Amino acid sequence: MKVLIVGSGGREHAIAWAVSKSAKADKIYCAPGNAGIEEYAECVNIGAMEFDKLVAFAKEKEIDLTIIGMDDPLVGGVVDAFEAEGLRVFGPRKNAAIIEGSKAFSKDLMKKYNIPTAEYENFDSDEAALAYLETAKFPIVLKADGLALGKGVLICNTLEEAKDGVKTIMEDKKFGDAGNRMVIEEFMTGREVSVLAFCDGKTIKCMTSAQDHKRAKDGDQGLNTGGMGTFSPSPFYTDEVKEFCEKYIYQPTMDAMKAEGRDFTGILFVGLMLTDDGPKVLEYNARFGDPEAQVVLPRMENDIIDVIDACIDGRLSEIELSFEDNAAVCVVLASDGYPEHYEKGKLIKGLENFEGKDKEGYYAFHAGTKKTDEGIVTNGGRVIGITAKGANLKEARANAYRATEWVDFENKYMRHDIGKAIDEA
Ligand code: AMP
Ligand code: GLY
């Protein structure tokens, strides 16, 4: 079959790699893709938000299955656009992707269906938000309602900081229209775990767990980023935690969406915080995590197309998900200065060291890269995710850091403590 993948990051590279392993995929396209994805897929120069062009391309090439990797097109209704033309597509419709597209929606959903999450209030005006803060407890968390590249969350330690935060989100519109509404939420403490799940509208099947490192610098210092590295599985996601989440979070979320007439088909990403009061939902996303996908998919034993087909056809209950009994660590190589100002266009050396290495459990998943006449150059903040597997987390971490030395570019930057938390487990 012919498969089209929509997106251009490390997540889409990991998806393209998994699809390339499927016995069912004869030809893979990716829009717009990147220099690494070209190894398995024909990249086409269509943007992820150009729905008409994507649909026209899928019709022209007689694509059998389109997989949407990114949040923006999902929230914007790309799945509805494909379905309207009778095209087979994997991802939630617009009315279900709102679970990521509006934090106010997802908080109200959790409240209505008793799904554990932090206490909160939603606000449509800055006056009301400011008035609420006067009697609030600190630290407190401010969240822009809409999509903000993972950056629309402000943790404020004092009333002054929080007032500035409301101004940043609602008046200065730092996150654009995402800040037309906001959520003010109780601050929670605990370990974070990311759980990704396949969903068919009624059944939800979770993949192995992972943990992201969102801050730019070692020791969880610096600004929030899209994610600087991941490990899988999380040793903090015990059987007990898993059982609690299955009972009170995963299936209840599926049932809640169904009850609201918003059947969720696609990948549900549940961001959890393991608090002293038990696991609570930090956020939902409507797609694979990036860079969570880069440690979860290499460990998956199923043929990804089989699972996706089962989701689209409502047969997920028939599928048994299975993961290797090992571990994986992904260290993101970024451009120095990310997530703020950084230079692009630096030649990347050593990529050939990863050729054929996936069989040994080493991967270079491209995020911001571009092919030029001189070779492959950096083209973004997050450049490449170096993933390695190992018998256990310690071994995977040592392997991943060793492999980070196989590639080089001028302003290469990485965290040196990805997976360090494992030592405390
Ligand atoms: P989100 O995009 O909602 O996952 O938030 C981004 C990051 O902000 C999370 O990964 C947490 O590290 C942090 N965060 C979000 N909500 C809270 C909260 N209620 N309490 C503490 N930290 C939070
Ligand atoms: N790594 C977090 C995310 O994909 O949103």
pTM above 0.95, yes or no: yes
Query: Among 99, 194, 195, 230, which is best to mutate for testing ligand 2, by the most ligand atoms less than 8 A from CB?
Result: 194
Q: What is the pLDDT of residues 14-56, one digit of tens each?
A: 999 999 999 999 999 999 999 999 999 999 999 999 999 999 9
> What is the rounded CA–CA span in Å between residue 411 and residue 419?
23
- Whether 226 is in the pocket of ligand 1, judged by its Cβ within 6 Å, is no
Amino acid 419: pLDDT? 94
Amino acid 94: pLDDT? 98
Amino acid 50: pLDDT? 98
Amino acid 17: pLDDT? 98
Q: What is the mean pLDDT of residues 367-392?
A: 97
Residue 295: nearest ligand to its CA?
A: 2
> What is the rounded CA–CA span in Å between residue 207 and residue 297?
9
- Whether 185 is in the pocket of ligand 1, judged by its Cβ within 6 Å, is yes
The residue among 100, 185, 191 whose CA lies nearest residue 136 is 185
H/E segment holding residue 258: helix 251-259
> What is the rounded CA–CA span in Å between residue 142 and residue 156?
8
What is the distance in A from the centroid of ligand 1 to the CA of 155? 8
Give the pLDDT band (50/70/90) at residue 90: very high
DSSP category for residue 115: -
Q: Helix 94-101 crosses helix 103-112 at what angle (to 10 degrees)? A: 100
Q: What is the pLDDT of residues 197-233, one digit of tens each?
A: 999 999 999 999 999 999 999 999 998 898 999 999 9
> What is the rounded CA–CA span in Å between residue 40 and residue 168?
42
Residue 186: nearest ligand to its CA?
A: 1
Return the ligand 1 atom nearest residue 150 CA.
2
> What is the rounded CA–CA span in Å between residue 102 and residue 79?
17
Two tokens, residue 327: 């571990």
Q: Which residue's C-alpha comes closest to atom 2 of ligand 2?
A: 289
Q: What is the pLDDT of residues 348-365, one digit of tens each?
A: 999 999 999 999 999 999
What is the distance in A from the centroid of ligand 2 to the CA of 149? 9
pLDDT of residue 274 exceeding 90: yes
> Which single residue is written with the structure tokens 């993972």?
150
Q: Which comes out higher in pLDDT, residue 110 or 225?
A: 110
Cβ(302)–Cβ(134) below 8 Å: no
340, burial (CB in 10 Å: exposed 0-12, middle 13-18, buried 19+): exposed
Cβ(389)–Cβ(399) below 8 Å: yes
Strand, coil or helix: 4: strand
Residue 143: nearest ligand to its CA?
A: 1
Q: What is the pLDDT of residues 116-171, one digit of tens each?
A: 999 999 999 999 999 999 999 999 999 999 998 777 899 999 999 999 999 999 99
Rg of the chain over all Cα atoms, to the nearest angstrom:
21
